[in-house]
Amino acid sequence: MSKTGKPVIVVHGGAGTWHPVHSQPALESVKEAAKTGFDRLRAGGTAVDAVIEAVALLEDTGAFNAGCGSALNIEKRVEMEASVMDGETLQAGATGLLSDIRNPVRLARVIMEKTDHVFVVGKGAEELARIFNLERRKPDTPVKIKRYEAQLKSLFEGKYELPKLTALVKAHPEVFQLETVGAVALDSNGNVAAATSTGGFPLKLAGRIGDSPSVGCGTYADNQSGACSATGVGEIAIRLVLAKTVCNYMENGKAAQEAVEKAIALVNRRISGIYNDMGLVAVDVHGGIGAAHSSPNLCWAYMAAGQKEPVASLIAKILK
Catalytic residue list = 180
Is residue 232 close enough to count as binding ligand ASP by CB under 6 A? Answer: yes
Coil/strand/helix, residue 171: helix
Coil/strand/helix, residue 225: coil
Residue selected from 13, 93, 210, 310 as contacting ligand ASP according to rule CB under 6 A = 210
Q: CA-CA distance, 244 to 158, in Å (whole number)?
A: 39
Cβ distance to ligand ASP smaller for residue 128 or 298: 298
Cβ distance to ligand ASP smaller for residue 46 or 276: 276
Segment near ligand ASP (CB under 6 A), from 2-10, 114-122, 205-213, 287-295? 205-213
Segment near ligand ASP (CB under 6 A), from 1-9, 89-97, 206-214, 251-259? 206-214
Is residue 231 close enough to count as binding ligand ASP by CB under 6 A? Answer: yes
Distance of CA 297 to the CA centre of its chain: 14
Q: CA-CA distance, 112 to 7, in Å (whole number)?
A: 23
Q: CA-CA distance, 259 to 268, in Å (whole number)?
A: 14
- Report whether 304 contacts 7 (CB < 8 A): yes
From the CB of 287, what's the least distance to ligand ASP, in Å? 26
Coil/strand/helix, residue 308: coil
Residue selected from 8, 10, 13, 14 as contacting ligand ASP according to rule CB under 6 A = 14
Is residue 300 close enough to count as binding ligand ASP by CB under 6 A? Answer: no
Q: What is the largest CA-CA distance in the chain?
A: 57
Distance of CA 151 to the CA centre of its chain: 22
Report which residue's Cβ sits closest to ligand ASP: 234
DSSP state of 132: T
Residue selected from 7, 69, 96, 234 as contacting ligand ASP according to rule CB under 6 A = 234
The residue ranges that bind ligand ASP (CB under 6 A) are 14, 65, 178-180, 198, 200-201, 210-212, 218, 231-234
